[in-house]
């Protein structure tokens, strides 16, 4: 059986356990006060299996979290898609959500663009524009463009994206992780119909956010 922990989590888990052991040796049973922190680190890097829904034209959530208010916004300019407004769905991840990111729909990676930036609270709307981010442009089977953006948060200082340009991907594939607490934005194709609502709790790779004519 595969232990459901993301590979990037093992060094942090080992460090947390090591510190807990040192506290136990130093303070005796009082050292157990750090055990909840160890359990939280393990929980943060959990990587459960997910089963993407079947069906053409479905766009699923790339992250676990809370869907923020739906907005109209231009995608990141570094992707070269122009200033035209698109429907933007934003998922805010707290410290307690699964942070492994998943591909929202099958297609081909056309562009990747990293941009350094600030570290505002990821629940703020200005985080989409000003925070450090990794923008991903995905061409869907029918030719539409879908944009997914990993955004660093107030505490998150490390965006990990394993994708490469030209890569073919499938709905629900793992593609990265953000440490610790963050946000993902999805810019829908122009003719997509939103299926989720603001305030909804969503699950990466499983919750349908939108449908587009495929």
Residues 28 and 75 grouped into a single domain: no
Answer yes or no: is pLDDT of 117 > 80.
Answer: no
DSSP state of 183: E
Residues serving a catalytic function are 182
Q: What percent of the chain has pLDDT over 70?
A: 86
Establish if 1 belongs to a structural domain: no
* Residue 49: exposure state from Cβ atoms within 10 A (0-12, 13-18, ≥19): exposed
- 52 assigned to some structural domain: no
The answer to whether residues 25 and 131 belong to one domain is no
Whether 180 and 101 map to the same domain: the answer is yes
Residue 197 pLDDT grade (very low, low, confident, very high; cuts 50, 70, 90): very high
| 190 lies in the same domain as 98 | yes
| Whole-prediction pTM | 0.81
Any idea which of 17-21, 87-91, 110-114 has the lowest mean pLDDT?
17-21
Residues 187 and 149 in one domain: yes
33: containing domain: 7-44
Quote the tokens at residue 175.
């593609």
Do 73 and 137 reside in the same domain of the chain?
A: yes
Asked whether residue 102 falls in the same domain as residue 175, the answer is yes
Tell me the CATH number at 72: 2.70.70
Q: Which band of pLDDT confidence, cut at 50, 70 and 90, is reported for residue 167?
A: very high
My answer on whether 113 and 32 are in the same domain is no
Instruction: State residue 9's pLDDT score.
Output: 66
Residues 69 and 108 in one domain: yes
As a whole-number percent, the residues of the chain with pLDDT over 90 amount to: 50
Local confidence band at 69 (pLDDT 50, 70, 90 cut-offs):
very high
Distance between CA 171 and CA 190 in Å, rounded?
A: 19
Res 31: pLDDT: 67
pLDDT at 42: 72
122 and 163 fall within a common domain: yes
Same-domain status, 101 and 160: yes
Residue 174 is assigned to a structural domain of this protein: yes
Q: For the chain, how many structural domains are there in total?
A: 2
Residue with tokens 């040192």: 22
131 and 156 in a single domain? The answer is yes
The reported pLDDT for the residue numbered 8 is 73
Taking residue 86's Cβ as centre, other Cβ atoms within 10 Å add up to 19
**Cβ distance 156 to 178 under 8 Å?**
yes
**Contact between residue 164 and residue 23 where contact means Cβ atoms under 8 Å apart:** no
Q: How far apart are the first and last CA of the chain?
A: 37
Alpha helices in 53-157 (DSSP H): 127-130
| 142 strand-pairing partners | none
Instruction: State the pLDDT confidence band at 145, using cuts at 50, 70 and 90.
Output: very high
In a domain? residue 30: yes
Residue 1: per-residue pLDDT: 45
């Amino acid at each position: 059986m595969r232990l459901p922990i993301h590979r990037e989590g093992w060094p942090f888990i080992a460090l947390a356990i090591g510190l807990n052991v040192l506290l136990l040796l130093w303070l005796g049973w009082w050292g157990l006060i750090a055990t909840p922190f160890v359990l939280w680190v393990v929980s943060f890097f959990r990587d459960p299996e997910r089963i993407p829904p079947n069906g053409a034209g479905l766009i699923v959530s790339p992250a676990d979290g809370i869907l923020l208010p739906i907005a109209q916004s231009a995608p990141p300019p570094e992707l070269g898609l122009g200033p035209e407004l698109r429907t933007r769905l934003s998922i805010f991840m707290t410290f307690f959500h699964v942070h492994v990111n998943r591909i929202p729909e099958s297609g081909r990676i056309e562009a990747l663009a990293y941009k350094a930036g600030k570290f505002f609270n990821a629940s703020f709307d200005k985080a989409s524009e000003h925070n450090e981010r990794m923008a991903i442009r995905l061409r869907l089977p029918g030719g539409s463009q879908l944009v997914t953006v990993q955004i660093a948060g107030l505490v998150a200082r490390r965006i990990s994206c394993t994708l490469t340009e030209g890569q073919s991907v499938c709905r629900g594939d793992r593609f990265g992780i953000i440490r610790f607490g963050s946000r993902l934005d999805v810019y829908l194709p122009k003719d997509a119909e939103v299926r989720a609502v603001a305030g909804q709790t969503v699950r990466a790779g499983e919750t349908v956010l939108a449908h587009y004519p495929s």
